[in-house]
Amino acid sequence: MLTNKLNTFRRYCAQASNPFYATTPIFYVNAAPHIGHLYSAVITDAICRYQRLRQPEQSLHLCTGTDEHGTKIQQAASAQAVPVAQYCDDISARYREVFAEAGIANTDFIRTTEGRHKQAVAQFWRTLNAREHIYSAAYSGWYCVSDETFLTDSQLRLDTASNTRFSLESGHPVEWTEETNYMFRLSNLQDDVLHWVKQGGRIRPGKFEKILLDMLSEPLPDVSVSRPTNRVHWAIPVPDDDSQTVYVWLDALINYLTSVGYPDEKFRSYWPPNVQVIGKDILKFHGIYWPAFLIAAGLEPPQQLFVHSHWTVDGQKMSKSKQNVVDPVVAAKTYTMEGLRYFLLREGVAHSDGSKYTQVTD
């Protein structure tokens, strides 16, 4: 198994141009970090460590950070009875501390509440608008607050006992929402995204490429990329329209550009990323929305997405709401952080969920 993982790292590094750019997802601050978050960071760090050994003189950029806007953040701060900005500061600091203790050698830790990121989002929005990929429309549909996305009927299940609809993918409840939003012409870019995926080697492991192709086998609807300010105030305002804020997923994905200097032209020396490490639950956003946004803005999509599965407890994904989260700081007190890093890399299998952690901690 270790040999296979080393071969994976070698494949990424062999494809590297100069310089090398790798990213973790940025982590949502609605809850403190758990070992699933650390797993993403450790994989990315391992790829970069190998690259440094292979080409020590090469310029290398590893970006990680925190995603700090949206309805869930408003709700989490309210539940803690603290100002939203203070809540974000506290949780973001915990991620930074865990990654430092784990030896994650990131060259940037980005927060979406930073001024540089707000500038990048505004410029990216104006570019999409100028290229006629955004329009305003009345919109209604089933909205999942936990997933921060609208869902179609085919993505829902109905609990007849409670007459409540839930997301098929995440299991979270949805609510009917009617509002005026800005829409992104995703439907116009389906063939472009499909072409990117079909070039081969873009999505690894291969099972996730198949999942993505299945998603792309059905017509893609246009996607809402703003929310009314009176509903989602903790977000970046839409340029030239203070009545709307930028959809958290458009905002969040742009962090990968912000980190390398966008909109300053210097970002092009690192673009596109060599590899972006993500969890399987955000495949749609990184494998469909993200390349579509980039193509619409006239930019190249990432060279590769490396998608990993989840660490589970008793067969269930870790979740604050389920109270089954494994705190890496607590685990490291028993096994050391280096021991935890080794365990995650040794026992983790990207194409399927890992549940052995419960055995280790028994």
Cβ-contact 192, 290 below 8 angstroms:
no
Nearest alpha-carbon partner for 30 in 85, 87, 83: 87
Long-range contacts of 166-175 (CB under 8 A, 24+ apart): 169/281, 170/144, 170/146, 170/281, 172/144, 172/145, 172/146, 172/147, 173/144, 173/146, 174/142, 174/143, 174/144, 175/142, 175/143, 175/145
Q: HEC profile for 114-157?
A: CHHHHHHHHHHHHHHHHCCCEEEEEEEEEEECCCCEEECHHHEE
Report, as ranges of residue numbers, the positions in the chain whose pLDDT lies below 70: 1-17, 314-323, 352, 354-362
Residues of the chain by 3-state class (helix, strand, coil), percent to 5: 45, 20, 35
Nearest alpha-carbon partner for 246 in 117, 81, 125: 125
Nearest alpha-carbon partner for 144 in 280, 249, 37: 249
Asked if the bond preceding 56 is cis, omega within 30° of 0, the reply is no
- What pLDDT does 359 receive? 42
- What pLDDT does 6 receive? 55
Nearest alpha-carbon partner for 112 in 29, 13, 184, 227: 29
- What pLDDT does 177 receive? 83
Structural domains of the chain ordered from first start: 2-131+199-220+249-361 (3.40.50.620)
- What pLDDT does 13 receive? 52
Measured distance CA(45)–CA(338) in Å, rounded:
13
- What pLDDT does 322 receive? 65
CA distances from 231 to 41, 74, 297, 352 (A): 33, 10, 28, 37
Measured distance CA(58)–CA(49) in Å, rounded:
12
Cβ-contact 1, 40 below 8 angstroms:
no
Residue 63 CA to its chain's centroid (Å): 12
61, β-bridge pairs: 21
Residue 21 CA to its chain's centroid (Å): 16
Cβ-contact 63, 258 below 8 angstroms:
no
Nearest alpha-carbon partner for 142 in 169, 105, 111: 169
For tokens 């707000």, what's the residue? Answer: 118
Nearest alpha-carbon partner for 284 in 312, 260, 253: 253
CB atoms within 10 A of CB 355: 15
- What pLDDT does 98 receive? 97
- What pLDDT does 294 receive? 98
pLDDT in tens, 162-211: 888 998 877 889 888 888 999 999 999 999 999 999 998 999 999 999 99
Nearest alpha-carbon partner for 228 in 146, 143, 124, 106: 143
